[in-house]
Structure 1
Amino acid sequence: ALLSLAAGHFAARRLRERVEAVNATFAAVRAGRIAARAPDAGTSDELAELAANTNAALDQVERLIEAQRHVSDQTAHEIRTPLMHLDTRILKAIEATDDPVLLRTLDQSRAEIRGVVRLLDSLLDIAGTQAMRGDLRGLADISLSDIAESLADLYGASAEELGIGFHARIAPGIHMRGDAMQMTRLLSNLLDNAFKYVPSGGSVVLELAPGPRMAVQDDGPGIPCADRERVFERYVRLDGARGQGHGLGLALARAIAERHHLSLHVEDAEPGARFVVRPEERDA
């Protein structure tokens, strides 16, 4: 009886270890380690078949991710190249004429072409960033404090020209694992949005605190409760914006935040709006 009990205990422990190895593989993939695979136990039982099927499914997921990236890059190249060639031809036509009406029309055409290219780039950025959610490849230790300080210097000069007060409260030494270019894009999109809506004589505040926790606040007209989720959808533009755009900046900012396991939402600043970026709440 003791021998049977010991054998049963050993078999149960062995079974539990092999199941936990498969579960650990899925947890690693969810955490961003796309190349993680279930270990080969060297047997030919049902659990070995489950591990093999798990690895085959993960191989297919990885191939689909790489294929999506390749298609996005190829699409961008195939569309952007003829547009830039067309822009070059229009520029040559501008240089060859003095007709003011024709010059105005050609200038408008060039502006529209550049707008289409920016729209294409933004859509591809959003799609690519959403596809990379949880993918740790390309991420490194970055200094959010340095990124925020650089943006504060840049936007401080722009604010002075526009007659807008700009204040930065940036805690030093804040680091995270992320993509420096994307985190710069996230903060700059939030700042661009604030500058679009704040009136001359108003103010914009950039904050960075441990967590990391980032916030961009303005004292403009604010965002109604009904629109506080809608503003993160593609092509949404609220009334009163300064300048033109496609309504994709906040959609991209949220996609970047989610890729880095951060949340992005908007609050009432009374007056104005306050966009807050902070770590996602994990399920218990």
Structure 2
Amino acid sequence: MIVACAMVIGAGVMLLMLYKSQNAVMYSATSSKAYGIAEQIEEHGLPGVSRSSMDPTSGVDIIQVLDGSNRVVYASPDPNETPISQVRPAPGEVARFETRVPGRGGSFCGAAAGTEHDGEKYVVIAVVGASTYRHGVLITGTILALEFPVVLAVAGLAIYIFVGRTLRPVHRITSEVSAISSTDLACRVPVPDSDDEIHTLAVTMNGMLARLERSRDTQIQFLGDASHELRGPLTTLSGILDLADHTGTDITVDTVRSVLLPEATRMGAVVDDLLLLARVDERGLPLVLSDVDVDDLVLAEVAAARATGGVTVRTRIQPVRVTGDATQLARCLRNLVDNARRHARGTVVLDLAAGDGAARVTVGDDGPGVPAADRDRVFLRFVRLDAGRPHGGGSGLGLAIAAEIAAAHGGAIEVGDSPLGGAAFTLVLPYVPPFTAGVGAARGRRVGPDQDEVSSIR
């Protein structure tokens, strides 16, 4: 339908232009002839005009000369005494018209030129039959009308073949996608060899299927790991309660404090971590932004780690203030410090500094470190490189949560080697330096080998 409408419009425009062009040819020929005779009459009078110039030529069929009384004083080729047209232009002017000639069929197009000689006015009329010219327009229209069905048939067949060939891969992709079930995401759609949008669609579809497959595998692994993490505390709690029920033995306060409460706390922490990660996956991590003194957060985590004991904590802290969520940043630091404490042999180092548009909190330890091949994997959920430890290895969610918190603040966590020989986890946050006009020299202090070195700016 679109091709047919375009062809009809194109044909109409072409016939109209051909019609106007033929009219222009007719009026040009008759105007030239009438004006040429009128000039000769003006110079020499009617008797002085050569007979050859008064005869019809190519593009002119009839010539008449009228005097001031509208009498035909010359007519060629027929001695017709009736004026062809009533158009009477003034001397020096040319008028165009369309008329009919008595005794001749069809319409005629012509021109009338006014002239004057010795006070006598004349009008020279030259006309040509329009049927010959317009017959060409009719023939052209007829040919176009006969060609239209053929052209439309060829165009329709070509569209059917080429569009069908183009969309055939889409049909195969649709069939393949319809056959893929939620339990078999390993299938991929066929990718055509053509370098076009269909090829791009197939590649994009395969990429989406790959992401869905990875997501499904991650969910399955996530459910398995979560079940495993929760099964341990539940087994301990159920075992003690079942033993007390069967033996009638009272559960002592020592058992509650040493076993039941730690296991319940551990299970609650895993559930809290899972809920946080579920919220992050659903709608991102919500933040309550404010100005946060990162050095205060670091010192608070240092105090908690020293109070827990087990490792020596050394620090080097520069006062830094960023915009962020204090609660989430504190949780991120706590997870990094807890991870360092679990892997350290005896020493943990915290270093806080700012520069080059970033605040960096580095938590290092003297433990076994993280192999280069595993430095990206440690941030995956339930991944533990120390899975062989019998207890206390963590749930494998701490670093994943820390990475999510850093990303929500527009930062990241980098893994490297600590100067102590273990691993160094660096929290990198966006940082805008404060106004430094009139700032004096930095000063620092060190109090003992196990206390803080704090540099401040006055």
TM bin, normalised by shorter chain, reads: 0.5 to 0.7
TM-score by length of 2: 0.36
Shift of 1:114: 4.0
Aligned-partner Cα distance in 2 for 1:183–1:132: 19
1:215 deviates by: 0.7
Deviation (angstroms), 1:132: 5.5
Identify if the C-alpha distance between structure 1 residues 267 and 130 changes in structure 2 by more than 3 Å, giving closer, same or farther.
Answer: farther
- Structure 1 length as normaliser, TM-score? 0.56
Count, aligned residues: 186
Q: How does 1:122-271 map to 2 (within 5 A)?
A: 122-129=273-280, 131=282, 133=284, 138-158=288-308, 161-162=309-310, 164-172=311-319, 174-199=320-345, 202-210=346-354, 211-239=358-386, 243-269=392-418, 271=421
Instruction: Select which of 255, 262, 271 maps to 1:120.
Output: 271
Once residues 114 and 234 of structure 1 are traced to their aligned partners in structure 2, the CA distance between those partners, rounded to angstroms, is: 20
| Structure 1 residue 265, shift from structure 2 partner | 2.0
Give deviations 1:45-95, integer Å, cap 9, x for gaps.
xxxxxxxxxxxxxxxxxxxxxxxxxxxxxxxxxxxxxx9xx99xx6xx79x
| Distance verdict in 2 for CA 1:236–1:197, change over 3 Å | same
Partner Cα distance (1:175, 1:132) in 2: 27
Alpha-carbon distance between aligned partners in 2 of 1:268 and 1:171, rounded to the nearest angstrom: 21
Q: Give the corresponding residue for 1:274.
A: 424
Q: Tell me if structure 2 keeps the 8 A contact 1:212–1:279.
A: yes
| Cα contact 2:347–2:365 (8 A) shared by 1 | yes
Contact preservation (8 Å) 2:384, 2:393: no
The 8 Å contact of residues 133 and 258 in structure 1, kept in 2 or not, is answered as: no
Shift of 1:115: 3.4
Instruction: Tell me if the contact between 1:220 and 1:272 (Cα under 8 Å) persists in the aligned partners.
Output: yes
Q: Which amino acid aligns with 1:123?
A: L
Structure index of larger Rg: 2
Paired with 2:417 and 2:385, the residues of 1 have a C-alpha distance of 16
Q: How many Å apart are 1:269 and its aligned residue?
A: 2.2
Which residue identity does 1:223 align to in structure 2?
V
Tell me, yes or no, if the aligned pair for 2:381 and 2:396 is still in contact at 8 Å: yes
Relative distance call for 1:131 and 1:144 in structure 2 (3 A) is: farther
Higher relative contact order (CA 8 A, sep 6+): 1
1:212 aligned counterpart, secondary structure? strand
Q: Which protein has the bigger helix share?
A: 1
Per-residue CA distance 1:198-246 (angstroms, 9 max, x = gap): 12xx311011112211110001100111111111111111226571421
- With 269-278 and 256-265 compared, the bigger mean Cα shift is at 269-278
Alignment partners' CA distance in 1, 2:369 and 2:261? 34
Q: Decide whether the 8 Å contact of 1:151 with 1:188 is kept in 2.
A: yes
Structure 1: runs of 5+ lacking an equivalent: 1-82
- Structure 2: 5+ residue stretches without partners: 1-233, 431-458
Shift of 1:117: 2.5
- Percentage of identical aligned residues: 38
For the residue of structure 2 that corresponds to 1:167, the secondary structure is strand
Q: Secondary structure at the match of 2:316?
A: strand
Q: Which structure has more strand as a fraction of its residues?
A: 2
- Cα RMSD after superposing both structures: 3.7
> Aligned partners of 1:181 and 1:145: how far apart in 2?
14
The Cα of 1:131 is off from its aligned counterpart by: 5.0
The one-letter code sitting in structure 1 at the alignment partner of 2:398 is G
Higher deviation after alignment, 261-270 or 190-199? 261-270
